[in-house]
């Protein structure tokens, strides 16, 4: 479902306004602006690496929808983190599944598509489902940070997501890992246990490895290939 033209134009204006006004704002100020502008038409997209952004947004908007892409390939620890956050935070988890089960995808494209064509696999199990899940919202919130990888170095706190015609909110974009750790400690945030077991960024199990100490957080995703993004943020 596409955004109506007038609504789309207004959203694009709000994205530009937010980018100007919130370039150096705190994460809390960014969230407060987003909640004030979009209310219940704002959601959070979470990979369930931790509960930082769901906690941050739900503090200003209790009951906020948190979109989780259940690809069928997640670690058990990720599913457990999703379930734990759903019971401990004032959020509404929207568990989004692809149109095809893993078995149905294997039957059409062959087994282990993630090894042979990871871009297509991500498109089918993440990009397309997210587009469907975001229909009806005006803005979505992510946990993107500039320090995670060079591909995210130019990310702004507020952006226009042209491919989905939505405002994209990145409240912790300026945070470092130390900032994240401090927030987790201060607010007793649940964390996916894999992050304490050598993983820097958590995605689907077949495409995620532990990282080498000192490497960027996303170096364990699609290791050994040129791929470093699933397509949700590009």
Q: What is the dihedral of CA 193, 196, 200, 206, to 10 degrees?
A: -50
H-only helix segments in 93-224: 102-109, 113-116, 118-122, 128-134, 177-187
DSSP states of 42-96: EEEE--SSBSHHHHHHHHHSTTEEEEEE--S-B-HHHHHHHHHHHHHSSEEEEEE
> What is the model's pLDDT at position 1?
42
> What is the model's pLDDT at position 149?
66
> What is the model's pLDDT at position 127?
96
Name the nearest CA neighbour of 65 among 98, 97, 96.
Answer: 96
**For residue 221, what are the β-bridge partners?**
208
Domains in the chain and their CATH numbers?
5-207 (3.40.50.620)
Q: Radius of gyration over alpha carbons of the chain, in Å?
A: 17
Q: Which two tokens stand for residue 111?
A: 């087994």
Q: Could you list the active site residues?
A: 230
Q: Which two tokens stand for residue 48?
A: 């369930």
H-only helix segments in 89-127: 102-109, 113-116, 118-122
Displacement of CA 57 from its chain's centroid (Å): 13
Mean pLDDT by 10 residues, the chain (234 residues): 67 96 96 98 97 98 98 98 98 98 98 96 96 96 86 87 96 95 98 95 94 83 80 75
- 9 Cβ contact partners less than 8 Å away, ≥ 6 residues apart: none
């Amino acid at each position: 479902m596409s955004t109506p033209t007038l609504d789309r134009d207004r959203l694009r204006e709000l994205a530009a306004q937010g980018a100007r006004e919130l370039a150096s704002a705190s994460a809390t100020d960014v969230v407060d602006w987003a909640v004030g502008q979009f209310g219940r038409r704002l959601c959070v997209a979470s990979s369930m690496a931790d509960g930082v952004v769901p906690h941050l947004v739900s503090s200003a908007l209790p009951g906020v929808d948190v979109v989780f892409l259940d690809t069928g390939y997640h670690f058990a620890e990720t599913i457990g983190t999703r379930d734990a956050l759903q019971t401990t935070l004032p959020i509404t988890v929207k568990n989004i599944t692809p149109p095809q089960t893993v078995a149905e995808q294997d039957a059409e494209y062959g087994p282990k598509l993630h090894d042979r064509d990871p871009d297509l696999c991500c498109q089918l199990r993440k990009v397309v489902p997210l587009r469907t899940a975001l229909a009806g919202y005006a803005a979505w919130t992510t946990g993107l940070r500039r320090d995670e990888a060079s591909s995210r170095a130019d990310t702004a706190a507020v952006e226009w997501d042209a491919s989905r015609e939505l405002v994209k909110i990145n409240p912790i974009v300026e945070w470092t890992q130390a900032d994240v750790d401090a927030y987790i400690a201060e607010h007793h945030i649940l964390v996916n246990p894999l992050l304490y077991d050598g993983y820097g960024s958590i995605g689907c199990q077949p495409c995620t490895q532990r990282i080498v100490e000192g490497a960027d957080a996303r170096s364990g995703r699609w290791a050994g290939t040129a791929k470093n993004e699933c397509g949700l943020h590009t």
